[in-house]
Amino acid sequence: MDYTVFFQKTLTDLGYDVVGIWNAFDPPHNHHHGWPLKLPDVKFGPRTLLVMHFQDFVTMQNDRVVELDQVAQHYGKHASQVLVTHMNPDLEKFYTGPVNLIEFSNHNYREIGRLRDRWSEWKHILDQPRTQAWQCLNGRMCDHRRRVANILCDWPNGTLSYGTAIPLDEWAYNTYRGTENDENFVRLGKIYGTCAVNIVTETLYDHAPGLFCEKTLFAMLAEQIPIVIGSQGLVASLQNRGFDMFDDLVDTSYDCLPNETRLTAALESNQDLIVGKIDLAPYRDRLRAQREFVLNDYIAMMELRFIRDCQQLNNSNL
């Protein structure tokens, strides 16, 4: 189901008069001022609810969420009749103002749905022998991915890419423009199917709150051990959402370290695992269970959590 239809129906069924802004951010993003926002004029009645979907990361300045402060300031006494839906795990830890928050990543919702529809095109990769110990694929070039690539470039038995600087032998990064994420996963199936560990360099690193996207989900769908390098606390956020981060195998203590040391610790503390010195046969059932959870259950869980959170919002307003 399209997330906009799902949002509208869920809230309308609770008796709200919904005004929906389903993509509230306009480009370009500004590091200091955040995203330009779509802020419609709304005639608020007693059951009016303005739903603004933040479809990308939020901006932190001076320990404040720039976009949420702008929404609260713009709508003033009606700010408590605004619901912001967003993709940032644990955003509520960074905001205590009047605007209501519910987490829902339309991005992940869409990507899982698309790959579930294409299951017949990529299920064969799960039967391939894991002849490579690890992979770390980096398209967009940025500082934390460059640092990871610099460390891994001499490590054996793996597949590494970094934009156009370290290209893949097939499907070089300059061929990606216009390619949807699900198509990219399918055409890179040979790599995902032959590598046992996936070092995931998430979109954000030194940015709080963080997020997770298709890079992490692809590792799980490919039945790989995920070592996720992202914003501080991201591994814990993933565990809290039901994902198996294999913390009996992966040293995840790096997750709480500061930006300066977290990245290096993630790699160095797991080096034996990454280069293939640990037998992963005992984890096969859990890897399959993880793939089945993401492919078959996680979308339904997202929907149920959204319905629950909307019901809680409604109860708080009675």
All structural domains of the chain with their residue ranges: 3-104, 113-297
In the structure encoding, which two tokens stand for residue 271, read together? 């080096």
The confidence score (pLDDT) of residue 226 equals 98
Q: What is the dihedral of CA 79, 22, 37, 47, to 10 degrees?
A: -20
Query: Is 18 exposed, middle or buried, given 0-12, 13-18 or 19+ CB atoms closer than 10 A?
Result: middle
Residue 135 near residue 192 (C-beta atoms within 8 A): yes
**What's the rounded Cα separation, in Å, for the pair 40 and 284?**
51
C-beta atoms surrounding 126 within 10 Å: 15
In the structure encoding, which two tokens stand for residue 44, read together? 């608020």
Structural Rg of the chain based on CA atoms = 21
Q: What is the mean pLDDT of residues 176-193?
A: 91
Q: What is the mean pLDDT of residues 19-29?
A: 97
Q: Is the pLDDT of residue 295 over 90?
A: yes
- CATH class of the domain comprising 113-297: alpha beta
**What's the rounded Cα separation, in Å, for the pair 54 and 32?**
17
Between the two ends of the chain, the Cα-to-Cα distance in Å is 29
Q: Is the pLDDT of residue 286 over 90?
A: yes
H helix or E strand, kind and range, residue 85: strand 82-86
- pLDDT cut 70: percent of the chain above it: 98
Residue 271 near residue 249 (C-beta atoms within 8 A): no
Query: Is 46 exposed, middle or buried, given 0-12, 13-18 or 19+ CB atoms closer than 10 A?
Result: exposed
Q: Is the pLDDT of residue 228 over 60?
A: yes
C-beta atoms surrounding 183 within 10 Å: 14
pLDDT band per the 50, 70, 90 thresholds, residue 158: very high
Q: What angle do CA 148, 154, 157 make, to 5 degrees?
A: 100
Q: What is the mean pLDDT of residues 297-318?
A: 94
Helix (H, G, I), strand (E, B) or coil at 203: coil
The confidence score (pLDDT) of residue 261 equals 97
In the structure encoding, which two tokens stand for residue 59, read together? 């901006």
Residue at token pair 């070089």: 172
The confidence score (pLDDT) of residue 318 equals 55
pLDDT band per the 50, 70, 90 thresholds, residue 179: confident
Q: How far is CA 198 from the centre of its chain?
A: 15
Q: What angle do CA 183, 189, 192 make, to 5 degrees?
A: 120
**Arithmetic mean of pLDDT over the chain:** 96
The confidence score (pLDDT) of residue 78 equals 98
- Which one has a higher pLDDT value, 183 or 172? 183
**What's the rounded Cα separation, in Å, for the pair 74 and 50?**
13
Q: What is the mean pLDDT of residues 38-54?
A: 98
